[in-house]
Amino acid sequence: MKSVLLLHTGGTLGMAGRRPTPLQPDTWSQAILTRVPELAELANIDTRILCNLDSSDIGPDEWGGLVDEIAAARASHDGMVVIHGTDTMAYTASALSFALSGLDRPVVLTGSQRPLGEIRTDARRNLVDAVDLATRDIPEVGVCFDGQLLRGNRASKGDAWAYAAFASPGCPPLARLGLDVEIGAHVRRPAGPFAADGRFDSRVAVYHVLPGMEPANLRRLAEGMRGLVLAAFGVGNVPMRTRAVATEVKRLVDDGVTVLVVTQARAGSVDLSLYANGVGLADAGAISGGDLGLEAAVTKLMHALARWPEEVAPRRQYLEADVAGERAAR
Ligand code: ASP
């Protein structure tokens, strides 16, 4: 039988009511196997509590801790399940996908919209599905929710109410759990040897471009930042006629801020050569994020800035490349 490590970080799944409660490692692991005994039929389960936080409080420090735990657990476990709040699950999944290169086994994040102890909970199904998937040959970081496994760095929380809380626009599910488990042909294989690097530079801001925006706002927002994700219109367009956004972007780039452009549209890709209003951004030194989602763009930029704090060229090359299935290959 395969062995799976359950890493608990918090979120609604383990909450009593809507508030996080302090969990004791033994009590918690006993409780989960008592409440969901079928987990023990799927795998030998070990549990570990990393933290017990609302996921709004999870960020680069916790991502680094998870990376270390997962890297160490490779010696003893065939797969890992990370129990996590839904609010920032897509950020954590993206961050892990960049930090764990050459991943050779599944890392499955899951959680629930209703706590495990509540009637009509979705926690039981999500847990069982996640553990099942963690025993399979899916060497990727994924988000398991409502009968689907989504690529972690393509996932996004799209619904704060429904059990189908996540979507991955532009990337079909890695697996679907129905009568059987169907695994997609696009599941990635490890490229190169395993390496873990859990460093992230949190000095990254996001600017959502608005009609009539004041370009000087970019500078105010970027104060003290090393990276800026610019969520632009359509294929990467910004105001140009009376609001010289590209001029402000050039000033930021010249000051050493890495600017990564994503689209505000729910699907499609940035192309900074199609319209004059986007060409200006490319000329200013902004980098096209292609079809990167917001969560992937933010975490990839944080990772790139930490890995190459001074070296602009490799940082740019990394951001433009598809390293973990996060963007369509160019
Ligand atoms: N606020 C919770 C969290 O993200 C929501 C959830 O788990 O669904 O931790």
Q: What's the rounded Cα separation, in Å, for the pair 296 and 227?
A: 14
Distance of CA 91 to the CA centre of its chain: 3
Q: For ligand 1, atom 3, name the residue with the nearest CA.
A: 85
Tens of pLDDT, residue by residue over 157-173, are 999 999 999 999 989 99
Tens of pLDDT, residue by residue over 272-306, are 999 999 999 999 999 999 999 999 999 999 999 99
Q: Which residues of 252-279 are buried (b: 16+ CB within 10 A; e: fewer)?
A: bbeeebbbbbbbeeeeebbbbeebebbb
Select from 12, 32, 172 the least CA-distant residue to 86: 12
Mutate which of 84, 87, 92 to test ligand 1's pocket (most atoms within 8 Å of Cβ)? Answer: 87
3-196 and 204-320 in the same fold: yes
| pLDDT value, residue 14 | 86
Q: Which amino acid is at 205?
A: A
Q: Which amino acid is at 25?
A: P
Q: Higher-confidence residue: 75 or 328?
A: 75
Report whether 149 contacts 128 (CB < 8 A): no
Tens of pLDDT, residue by residue over 51-60, are 999 999 999 9
Q: Is the CB of 52 under 6 A from ligand 1?
A: no
Select from 298, 315, 263, 328 the least CA-distant residue to 92: 298
Domain ranges (residues) in the chain? 3-196, 204-320
Q: Is the CB of 325 under 6 A from ligand 1?
A: no
Q: What's the rounded Cα separation, in Å, for the pair 215 and 166?
A: 33
Entry pTM: 0.96
CATH of domain 204-320: 3.40.50.40
Report whether 253 contacts 286 (CB < 8 A): yes
Classify 263 in phi/psi space as left (phi over 0), alpha (psi -120 to 50) or beta: beta
**Residue 83 parent element (H or E):** strand 79-83
Centre of ligand 1 to C-alpha 53, Å, is: 9
Q: Is the CB of 62 under 6 A from ligand 1?
A: no
Q: For ligand 1, atom 8, name the residue with the nearest CA.
A: 86
Level-2 CATH architecture, domain 3-196: 3-Layer(aba) Sandwich (3.40)
Tens of pLDDT, residue by residue over 115-140, are 998 899 999 999 999 999 999 999 99
**Active site (catalytic) residues:** 12
**Strands 195-196 vs 100-101: parallel, antiparallel or unpaired:** antiparallel
Select from 25, 8, 35, 28 the least CA-distant residue to 119: 35
Tens of pLDDT, residue by residue over 196-247, are 999 999 999 999 999 999 999 999 999 999 999 999 999 999 999 888 999 9
